[in-house]
Chain A
Amino acid sequence: MGLRHFAIAWLLTASSLAQDPGEPPARKKGPPRSTEPAVPRPSDLDKARLESKPPSLAVAAARAAEVARVFIDWAGASNVGQREQVRQLIAEARGNTSVAAAFCDEASRAAESDHSRALLALSILGEMRSPVGEECLRKLLHQPLPEKGTLADGEIVEQTALAMLQAKAVDGLAYLRTARADQEVLWAVTKHPSRIVRAEAIEAYLWNHTDSPEARATLQKHVRPDEAIFLDRIRREPEEKAESFNRRLAAFLKAHPELAPPPPPRAYRKKRSPLPPGDDKPPVR
């Protein structure tokens, strides 16, 4: 065998060993690093953060875009304890069409680059209940879903992202509680191509009509036959205590025995004795 053949044989062996999962190579040890100055403890930052003042939305058209952006920054960083304050500020700006239009523009811009910011802008716009906002939400709701894009776990990621924004738009339309906006919501219940949006439209219509029998009767005329279960879907609201939720869940499961899952199937049996969760403690916040 010539040298060349020997080299090929060696390379073939080495290559096959390289593909063989076998024992994994040792992973590089050593901690992550940063050159930035470290903070002592995050809880030390809480107070300063909460002292941040919201920007006023009472501005002229020339400053609307800038103020809308700053307001979205502030509202995104606000916490659950500031919810009523955010709602109040948004309600006070209802008549400011320039600011509403700026929120709409920011939602469109962020939809392409930062979904979490687009959700914020649409939430604010929906909470505003303004005519400009209504038009913006309606336009978004009817935007066609992309049919091509990044396919992950069988879904087109861009399609899901837009449908989630449209679901937020439907929340805003339903919250207007006008006949015209309700027609859009009911259109979405029947005709929107995404189940994400249809499901949210049902939910939002029911909630905004206090789950009344009349609202259910209206929805029954619009809901797709294979999606009737969404009318009975269990809502987990933050204020509801366990006893009440559990009672409603039990009633739901009793009314829908067809939803009981089958017994989970076994893979193969290997005997194990369960251990308690690892008890290594993170540093105290």
Chain B
Amino acid sequence: MTRSRKLVLVLLAALATKAAPAQAICNQSRASQADRDLWNTHGCWEAFFLWQYQAYDMSESDWGGRGWDDACNVNKEYPKHWNAAYLLTYGLQDNLSFSFHGTADYRGTAERWDNAYHDDLYHTATDDTSIFGRWTYHFFGSNEVATSCLLYDPNLSANANPGSRAGDYEHEGWHGWMDEYDWDNGSCGGHRCGPVGNCAASSCDYFYFHGIGAYAFGAMWENDGTANRFHSPNQVQVEFLCDVADFPQGWVPNSVRLAAQADANQRASRRFINGPGYTCGSPRPW
């Protein structure tokens, strides 16, 4: 084969790769018990997923082959995505005497619409298992929140449960908040590089401690330009997970709460430079 023919073949292959839609390699055949238990509280609720795909600006281009055409099969990625969105939308008590923040805050952070929390965004899936999730700025159009197979496949990680998945919507959405208000949270994937201080991880945040009731529900986006009124992505994630674990609606299954508590506490113990963050719930086993 001549050199020019080889070059033509390589270029054609590159074009073909670019043009073809990505095929999911993430396992679409199993769901964690926490996912199944939550699923059984709502079943195939069409009215919700027909709202949810718009609220998270999801499309067949990104979720084809991942359960878009099988939206009530909890083993697949898209149904797991809306399962977590269901928890986020309905699963919290919103009690001002107890909760860190309210559903309005968590929805405002996760959903697509340009609002006080972030510019427009849309949700995609990725098979890249070197990340849990990623917020990407796009010069044209909406910014992107990609969630990784690690949040969907129970064979791969502890985070394949609805609380951790929705917690990641919060985390990535908060990078959108950082962008919205022009904060520089660091150069390691939008975090400070670690390990540093009390942070044992490679990407670290500060914890901006605040009391219960310090933010009215719907006011988590507020900041006063100082560390006195501010949140980092990992902090928002931990506070959301704590609210799921400790102050959920009465119907939220215990498997969902336990997984959220375990994720909150492991994250709070080693992701914060000035940590640890709060510990959520009591250490009584049940």
Contact = CB atoms under 8 A, between A and B. Distances in A.
Q: Do A and B bind each other?
A: yes
Interface of A: 4-5, 7-8, 11-12, 14-15, 18-19, 21-25, 27-39, 41-42, 45-46, 49, 72-73, 75-83, 86-87, 90, 110, 112-117, 119-120, 122-127, 150-155, 157, 160-161, 163-164, 167-168, 171-172, 174-175, 195-196, 199-200, 203-204, 207-208, 226, 229-230, 233-238, 241-242, 245-246, 249-250, 252-253, 258-270, 272, 274-278, 280, 282-283, 285
A57 B85 CA distance: 35
Contacts of B34: 76, 116
A268 B140 CA distance: 19
Given A154-B202, A275-B114, 5 more contacts: A27-B61, A76-B37, A79-B253, A120-B33, A199-B269
A166 B150 CA distance: 20
A160 B250 contact: no
Given A18-B18, A113-B155, A168 B285 contact: yes
B60 A150 contact: no
B182 A270 contact: yes
B211 A249 contact: yes
A173 to B, nearest CB: 10
B8 interface: yes
A160 to B, nearest CB: 6
B184 A275 contact: no
A278 B282 contact: no
Contacts of A174: 283
Interface in B205-235: 206-209, 211-213, 218, 221, 223, 225-227, 230
Interface residues of chain B: helix, strand, loop or mixed (majority): loop
A117 B255 contact: yes
B115 interface: yes
B283 A203 contact: yes
B266 A196 contact: yes
Contact of A278 (B115, B150, B225, B273): B115
Nearest to A11: B11
A274 B11 CA distance: 46
A46 B251 contact: yes
B166 to A, nearest CB: 14
Contact of A277 (B47, B50, B54, B104): B104
B154 to A, nearest CB: 5
B1 interface: no
Contact of B180 (A24, A155, A272): A272
A119 B258 contact: yes
A34 B46 contact: yes
B284 A161 contact: no
Interface residues of B, number: 141
Contact of B48 (A163, A203, A283): A283
Contacts of A196: 265-266, 269-270
A254 to B, nearest CB: 11
A176 to B, nearest CB: 10
A127 to B, nearest CB: 4
Nearest to B239: A236
A149 to B, nearest CB: 10
Given A153-B132, A236-B242, A249-B211, A199 B184 contact: no
Most chain B CB atoms below 10 A, which of A32, A33, A167: A32
26 contacts: A11-B11, A27-B122, A31-B53, A32-B78, A34-B46, A38-B45, A39-B44, A49-B40, A83-B286, A114-B30, A116-B161, A152-B131, A164-B263, A164-B266, A172-B285, A196-B270, A233-B276, A236-B279, A238-B282, A261-B208, A274-B116, A278-B108, A278-B115, A280-B51, A280-B113, A282-B51
Most chain A CB atoms below 10 A, which of B18, B78, B112, B254: B254
Contacts of A87: 286
B115 A263 contact: no
A195 B46 CA distance: 43
A270 B119 CA distance: 13
A81 B250 contact: yes
B240 to A, nearest CB: 13
Contacts of B221: 274, 277
Contacts of A81: 250
A33 B71 contact: yes
Interface string B176-195: 00111111110001000010
B52 A282 contact: yes
A255 B131 CA distance: 37
A163 B278 contact: no
B258 A276 contact: no
Interface in B34-91: 34-35, 37, 40-55, 58-64, 67-73, 78, 89-90
A200 to B, nearest CB: 7
B147 interface: no
B98 A114 contact: no
A122 B261 CA distance: 14
A87 B282 CA distance: 15
B158 A155 contact: no
B183 A265 contact: yes
A45 B43 contact: yes
A29 B15 contact: no
